[in-house]
Amino acid sequence: MEKKEANAIAEGLLFAAGDEGLTKKQLAKIMELDITYVDEIIDSLISDYQKKNRGITLLQSKDYLHLTTKPEHASYYQRLMDTPQSSRLSQAALETLAIVAYQQPITRTEVEDIRGVKSERPIQTLVARSLIEEVGRKEGVGRPIMFGTTKEFLTYFGLTSIEELPPLPTEVTESDVEQEADLFFERFQEQLDANNER
């Protein structure tokens, strides 16, 4: 495998791994490369990211490598966080929001058990948009954070309380669930779009 291609693949894998990151051993296994070649790839990426024309950098925390933003650009990222969001919520964020709305208080792990996929980023998005918030900690190992909907969530959807959410059907088939979910997400998105246009 050529060095440029290997660098590009490693970069893509690190991006896809997100906050969890990857170890050099994991990269070597996935890319079917010798660990010494992976060391060269990582050194090459680090060198490239140190240039001023690059907006990301490679951070090593314990054995894990993560792609992250550069600290010197932090003021711009803060401006982004402070800017009202007008973009549409992703399907993952809408699914997560629906689960939190109906199952609150709920932990991230419980959301992931229901969705069947990792949900850290959708939860971060929803917290950043003030649609959900931390409402306490669950008793037990690690005392994980529990999430619930916010007053902003109620305002967005014209509700006075969470009890006004439409009831979930009791006897449903898998196709019914998919159809109901699609309709639910469409209504959520329509309401978000309408509020963003105000």
| Cα–Cα distance measured from residue 126 to residue 124, given in angstroms and rounded to the nearest whole number | 6
The number of distinct structural domains making up the chain is 2
Mean pLDDT of 120-145: 89
Residue 24: band (very low, low, confident or very high) from pLDDT cuts 50, 70, 90: very high
Residue of 162 and 80 predicted with greater confidence: 162
Whether the predicted pLDDT of 87 surpasses 70: no
Whether residue 150 contacts residue 132, with contact meaning beta carbons closer than 8 Å, is answered with yes
User: Residues 133, 54: one domain?
Assistant: no
pLDDT of residue 14: 92
| Cα–Cα distance measured from residue 11 to residue 190, given in angstroms and rounded to the nearest whole number | 36
Whether the predicted pLDDT of 25 surpasses 70: yes
Q: Which residues contact 69 (CB under 8 A, 6 or more apart)?
A: 55, 56, 57, 77
Residue 65's Cβ-count burial label (10 Å; 0-12, 13-18, 19+) is buried
Whether the predicted pLDDT of 175 surpasses 60: no
Q: What is the DSSP string of 136-172?
A: EE-SSTT--EEEEE-HHHHHHTT-SSGGGSPPPPSS-
- In this predicted structure, which of 56-65, 78-87, 152-161 has the lowest mean pLDDT? 78-87
- Asked if residue 30 belongs to a domain, the reply is yes
pLDDT of residue 35: 94
User: Residues 101, 68: one domain?
Assistant: no
- Asked if residue 17 belongs to a domain, the reply is yes
Q: At 38, list the tokens.
A: 């992976």
- Asked if residue 12 belongs to a domain, the reply is yes
pLDDT of residue 70: 87
Predicted TM-score of the model (pTM): 0.48
User: Residues 7, 68: one domain?
Assistant: yes
Whether residue 189 contacts residue 89, with contact meaning beta carbons closer than 8 Å, is answered with yes
User: Residues 183, 88: one domain?
Assistant: yes
Summarize pLDDT for 2-15 with one digit per residue, the tens.
889 999 999 999 98
Q: HSE on the CB side for 80, CA within 13 Å?
A: 7
- Mean residue pLDDT of the chain comes to 83
Q: Which domain holds residue 52?
A: 3-73
Residue with tokens 């990222």: 77
What CATH number does residue 109 fall under?
1.10.10.10
| Cα–Cα distance measured from residue 67 to residue 56, given in angstroms and rounded to the nearest whole number | 7
| Cα–Cα distance measured from residue 20 to residue 39, given in angstroms and rounded to the nearest whole number | 19
Largest interatomic CA distance in the chain: 60
Q: Which of 153, 16, 134 is nearest to 89 (CA)?
A: 153
